[in-house]
Amino acid sequence: MQKKLLSLAVAGALAAPVAALAQVEVYGTVHMSVNKMKYDAGTDTAVGVGTGSKSAWDVASHASNIGVRARESLGGGLSAWAQVETNAAMERSNNIAHTSNFASRNSAIGMQGNFGNIFAGQWTTPWADLDALWAIGTVATYGPVTSIIGRRETTGSAPQPNCANTGSGQSPPFGVACDSVEGGGGVGHAFWRRVSNSVHYQSPVFAGVQVKAAYQTNQDKSTTPGAIPSDPSMWSASVAWSGMGGRARVGAAIDGHKDFTTVGQTDDGWRITGGFNFGFMDIGAAYEQMTYKTPAGDCEATQWGIALAVPIGQGAIRASYSQADDIDGTYTGPVANTATGSTGSCGAAPTAVLPNAGDNGAKQWNIGYDYRFSKRTTVGVGYAMIDNDAGAVFTWSGLSSTQGGVSTIPPLGSDVSIFFVSMIHRF
């Protein structure tokens, strides 16, 4: 009897670590593509920067990542959890934009129960989460949500001239980022980006409806009165509904960014996304508007997009079209060329610095086919293009080329195109 009890005790002691390990999961995604990319000379020859066209082959990594998540049941329907996820660059480069910072992706610690899920750390905003409802028209990542939708401040890995108001003084010809906190490397961020230093809440799903909210703390509050950033913080909230077995879906979100552009002012935005799966075809659509508060008035940016997926065998034909309208409004304040001291459009530096500065919209379209060999492995092929207006330089996140270890972006007004073959493996 004593031997049996001893054997059970030893077995229990050996099993305990196994049970603990069973609650820990290592996961990841490796997503690579071989591309033929091209952009032309554009319209920025007047300032003598980035005037050359480029056509080149490229191997790119698309948000490849690796993560660890753990969960422990505390009883009574309550669980504690933690997750640490980081980029996996998959490319050797001297370009700092291609390096991986640990815990650079969704990483947090939280508690989940019948009340919902509450956690703190770095995570995608409720605003950005709504992209899952509509963005079904992209093969690889060359589509609207990595180029046009939510991307007024920055695309690729460098500051863009699509917005310029009273910001941080980026070097010409790029003007400054839409919000000066973002441009200055502070706590601010574009509407699409993960929010750090933040607290999040996700409600349970009731009748297909879920509410999400996030608040980014003001830990970067300045000790200098009136400075930018002064007392920056932000919040984001969304409500989404899914019904008919997930075939119908719709969501709406609002964001508020305090002291990002102007002290005492709050930039804001709203969006609606959704879609419907007919079986033979899945469609999606998104519309969004952001307002940046400058001393002279509001700068209003509008973007929209539509998406389509048509299943064929184990794969699907996927296509999207998206558009960024010219930014509406005027501003007065620090500009890229301080010698002029002039007033310009919200969309870019004044015309004394850049020709066609207010003509800053763009159109993007893509089409491709991806084939699922399994739940884990997908191979795709496609073509995508961005038609930039004379004062815009939209591109896809991660497409910016590297020359001598320095990140570069296409010239103003350049048309950007890419043909690609991609492969994704999830584990």
In the prediction, which pLDDT does 358 show? Answer: 63
In the chain, % of residues over pLDDT 90: 46
pLDDT of 230 over the 90 cut = no
pLDDT of 16 over the 70 cut = no
In the prediction, which pLDDT does 60 show? Answer: 87
Q: Which band of pLDDT confidence, cut at 50, 70 and 90, is reported for residue 300? A: confident
Tokens of 153: 């401040």
H-run or E-run covering 395: none
Between residues 156 and 221, which one has the greater pLDDT?
A: 221
Which of 166-170, 242-246, 297-301, 407-411 is modeled with the greatest confidence?
242-246
CA distances from 27 to 68, 85, 102, 196 (A): 6, 9, 15, 22
Query: How does the average pLDDT of the chain come out, rounded?
Result: 78
In the prediction, which pLDDT does 44 show? Answer: 54
> Looking at 14-18, 234-238, 299-303, 396-400, which range is the least confident one?
14-18
Tokens of 163: 């917005």
**Taking the mean position of all CA atoms in its chain, how far away is CA 118?**
22
Between residues 59 and 158, which one has the greater pLDDT?
A: 59
| Domains within the chain, CATH numbers bracketed | 26-426 (2.40.160.10)
In the prediction, which pLDDT does 262 show? Answer: 74
Rounded to whole angstroms, the Cα distance separating 56 from 39 reads: 9
In the prediction, which pLDDT does 286 show? Answer: 98
H-run or E-run covering 183: helix 180-183
Task: Kindly report, residue by residue over 255-285, the tens digit of the pLDDT.
Answer: 998 887 777 888 899 999 999 999 999 999 9
Between residues 241 and 228, which one has the greater pLDDT?
A: 241
Task: Kindly report, residue by residue over 350-367, the tens digit of the pLDDT.
Answer: 443 344 446 778 999 999
Alpha helix ranges (H) inside 72-139: 126-129
pLDDT of 375 over the 90 cut = yes
Task: Kindly report, residue by residue over 156-175, the tens digit of the pLDDT.
Answer: 443 344 555 433 333 333 33
pLDDT of 288 over the 50 cut = yes
pLDDT of 14 over the 50 cut = no
> Looking at 19-28, 104-113, 130-139, 205-214, which range is the least confident one?
19-28
Q: Looking at residues 312-320, what average pLDDT do you find?
A: 96
In whole angstroms, how large is the CA radius of gyration of the chain?
23
Classified as helix, coil or strand, 386 is strand
CA distances from 380 to 37, 66, 156, 348, 360 (A): 16, 22, 22, 36, 31
In the chain, % of residues over pLDDT 70: 70
| Residue type present at position 413 | G
> Looking at 57-71, 242-256, 343-357, 363-377, which range is the least confident one?
343-357
In the prediction, which pLDDT does 35 show? Answer: 93
Reply yes or no: is the peptide bond before residue 411 cis, omega within 30 of 0.
Answer: no
Question: pTM of the entire structure?
Answer: 0.82
pLDDT of 406 over the 80 cut = no
**Taking the mean position of all CA atoms in its chain, how far away is CA 405?**
24
pLDDT of 227 over the 70 cut = no
Tokens of 125: 């905003």
Classified as helix, coil or strand, 159 is strand
Hey, what's the torsion of the CAs at 162, 164, 168, 170, to 10 degrees? 60
Identify the CA nearest to 357 among candidates 336, 333, 386, 338: 336
